[in-house]
């Protein structure tokens, strides 16, 4: 494969002009101004400079130009006045919208939408080979129907280097490099097919790893939440992990799993995942197979919410909505209300807690509330465990190992061809052991017998 990703050192960051539409009657998850502020943060995360914004109230989007045609002309002059290289719309634009808008804006200003911007950030932040392949696939699938537009960009760049910054790999153009986009649709489809095969290989590898993990039977807690809520910070603190933390959107793309010790000798596997955001197209969510698979396997979801964010309640709803979209709303959830260190005294965490079911107030950064959180997680995961004392003959080897796999062993005594185990088991396994149950405590073993304490 020819050099797929070029590195571009641009002399100055690209300048972007943001456009939002306040659609009448639409079910907005965030007020339009907040949605634009988020788009502005996304732009900064992508390394861009925001030079202006425009919001239009509309009953419905214009079929050709999304905003009204008159507004589009106004946008052109505003973008030119502010020396913008790129105009970014807060909503996903159809290929037709993109074509028409580019016609109006002329050859020097590119038009992108929120999805393309997020894809660009993903392309910059993907670390693992698997993650990179998934982002590349999502980019091709997004750009395939918009290929004419990509062509015009590339032609322009080939003929003397893009916008003012001269950066050929500007926002929305990172990832699949020129060589990939210069080929025809057939070749791109071919690449998509080959990416899918490679991604499938990673997937089956993960499945094998997972079934091994399953055999290990440690419960799985998946950390989810809005982007920038503090998910990675929390896992770093709980497990001494070393995941990159940043005051950026989508700092994490690839799941990381670590073992975390819970109170009373229990433990579980915790996985950090990609954050959610409003207006995230389902096609983009679908690109995150690895994260989705993790979520589907979870025994418990740990929803991290930045309670100090002015839109916290909206973020909470958006995450729950996304869980529904990906069919994960039946998995039990605990909410960690994070960043309480940033709350002012007037915002009593106790008052806020009342709004959320099964929640704990924490500060991941300052390690506040973490033991309460772990206690709640332990309860949620293990409350169905019951104390049992069994005497298993050695020929019941598979039951002996099952106890170790699924239970929490407190004491083991080997004596006279049998092993006596006391400890806790998930209720659903009790029946298998009932035949070997004994009452009372383990008798102290004769001196000749080996004794293991675990």
Interface residues toward ligand GTP, by CB under 6 A: 225, 227-233, 245-252, 275, 338-339, 341-342, 363-366
Q: Could you write out the DSSP letters of every residue in 93-120?
A: PPHHHHHHHHHHH-TTSEEEEHHHHHHH
Indicate which single residue of 134, 157, 236, 252 sits in contact with Mg ion (rule: CB under 5 A).
Answer: 252
Nearest approach, Cβ of 409 to ligand GTP (angstroms)? 35
Give the side-chain half-sphere CA count within 13 A for 7. 1
Stretch touching Mg ion by CB under 5 A, among 49-57, 129-137, 244-252, 364-372: 244-252
| Binding-site member from 51, 109, 251, 421 for Mg ion (CB under 5 A) | 251
Residue 203 or 365: the one with the smaller Cβ distance to ligand GTP is 365
Pairing of strands 15-23, 300-306: unpaired
Give yes or no for residue 257 binding Mg ion (CB under 5 A). no
Q: Which does 410 bind (CB under 5 to 8 A by kind): Mg ion, ligand GTP, none?
A: none
Distance between CA atoms of 128 and 115, rounded to whole angstroms?
21
Residue 232 found at the interface with Mg ion (CB under 5 A): yes
Nearest distance, CB of residue 252 and Mg ion, angstroms: 3
Minimum gap (Å) between residue 344 Cβ and ligand GTP: 13
In the 8-state DSSP scheme, what is residue 413? E
Least gap, CB of 125 to ligand GTP (angstroms) = 8
Q: What whole-number distance in Å separates Cα of residue 412 and Cα of residue 390?
A: 10
- CA neighbor of 381 nearest in space, from 291, 260, 273, 290: 260
Q: Which is nearer to ligand GTP, 164 or 342 (CB)?
A: 342
Cβ-in-10-Å burial (0-12, 13-18, 19+) of 398 comes to: exposed
CB atoms within 10 A of CB 1: 7
Nearest approach in angstroms of CB 302 to ligand GTP is 12
Residue closest to ligand GTP when measured from CB atoms: 275
Closest Cα partner for 221 from 191, 253, 258, 187?
Answer: 258
- For residue 115, state whether it binds Mg ion (rule: CB under 5 A): no
Residue 394 CB, nearest distance to ligand GTP (Å)?
48
- Say if residue 55 is exposed, middle or buried (CB neighbours under 10 Å; 0-12, 13-18, 19+): middle
- Give whichever of 101 and 302 is closer to ligand GTP, judged by the CB atom: 302
Euclidean distance between CA atoms 453 and 279, whole angstroms: 54
Q: Which stretch binds Mg ion (CB under 5 A): 36-44, 115-123, 157-165, 229-237?
A: 229-237
From the list ligand GTP, Mg ion, none, which binds 273 (C-beta under 5 to 8 Å, kind-based)? none
Binding interface with Mg ion (CB under 5 A): 231-232, 251-252
């Amino acid at each position: 494969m020819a050099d797929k990703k070029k590195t571009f050192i641009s002399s100055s960051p690209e300048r972007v002009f943001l456009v939002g539409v306040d659609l009448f009657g639409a079910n907005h998850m965030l007020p339009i101004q907040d949605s634009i502020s988020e788009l502005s943060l996304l732009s900064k995360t992508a390394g861009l400079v925001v030079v202006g914004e425009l919001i239009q109230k509309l009953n419905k989007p214009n079929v050709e130009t999304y905003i009204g045609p008159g507004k589009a002309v106004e946008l052109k002059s505003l973008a030119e006045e502010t020396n913008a290289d790129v105009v970014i719309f807060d909503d996903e634009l159809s290929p037709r919208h993109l074509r028409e808008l580019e016609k109006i804006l002329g050859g020097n200003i590119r038009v992108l939408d929120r999805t393309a911007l997020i894809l660009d950030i993903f392309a910059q932040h993907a670390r693992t080979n698997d993650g990179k392949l998934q982002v590349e696939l999502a980019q091709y699938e997004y750009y395939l129907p918009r290929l004419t537009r990509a062509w015009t960009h590339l032609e322009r760049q080939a003929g003397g280097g893009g916008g003012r910054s001269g950066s050929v790999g500007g926002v929305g153009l990172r990832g699949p490099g020129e060589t990939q986009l210069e080929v025809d649709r057939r070749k791109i489809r071919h690449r998509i097919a080959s990416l899918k095969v490679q991604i499938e290989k990673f997937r089956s590898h993960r499945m094998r790893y997972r079934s091994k993990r399953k055999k290990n039977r440690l419960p799985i807690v998946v950390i989810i939440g809005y982007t920038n809520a503090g998910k990675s910070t929390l896992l770093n603190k709980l497990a001494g992990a070393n995941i990159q933390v940043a005051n950026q959107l989508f700092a994490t793309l690839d799941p990381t799993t670590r073992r975390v010790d819970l109170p009373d000798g229990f433990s579980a596997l915790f996985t950090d995942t990609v954050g959610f955001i409003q207006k995230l197209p389902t096609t983009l969510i679908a690109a995150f197979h690895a994260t989705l698979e993790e979520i589907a396997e979870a025994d418990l979801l740990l929803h991290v919410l930045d309670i100090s964010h002015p839109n916290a309640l909206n973020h909470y709803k958006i995450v729950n909505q996304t869980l529904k979209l990906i069919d994960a709303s039946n998995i039990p959830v605990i909410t960690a209300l994070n960043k309480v260190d940033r709350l002012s005294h007037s915002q009593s965490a106790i008052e806020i807690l009342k709004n959320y079911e099964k929640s704990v107030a924490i500060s991941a950064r300052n390690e506040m509330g973490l033991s309460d959180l772990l206690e709640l997680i332990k309860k949620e995961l293990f409350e169905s465990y019951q104390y049992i004392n069994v005497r298993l003959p050695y020929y019941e080897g598979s039951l002996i190992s099952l106890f170790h796999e699924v239970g929490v062993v407190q004491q083991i005594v080997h004596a006279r061809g049998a092993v006596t185990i006391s400890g806790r088991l998930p209720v659903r396994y009790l029946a298998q052991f009932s035949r070997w149950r004994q009452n009372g405590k383990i008798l102290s073993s004769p001196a000749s017998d080996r004794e293991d304490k675990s």
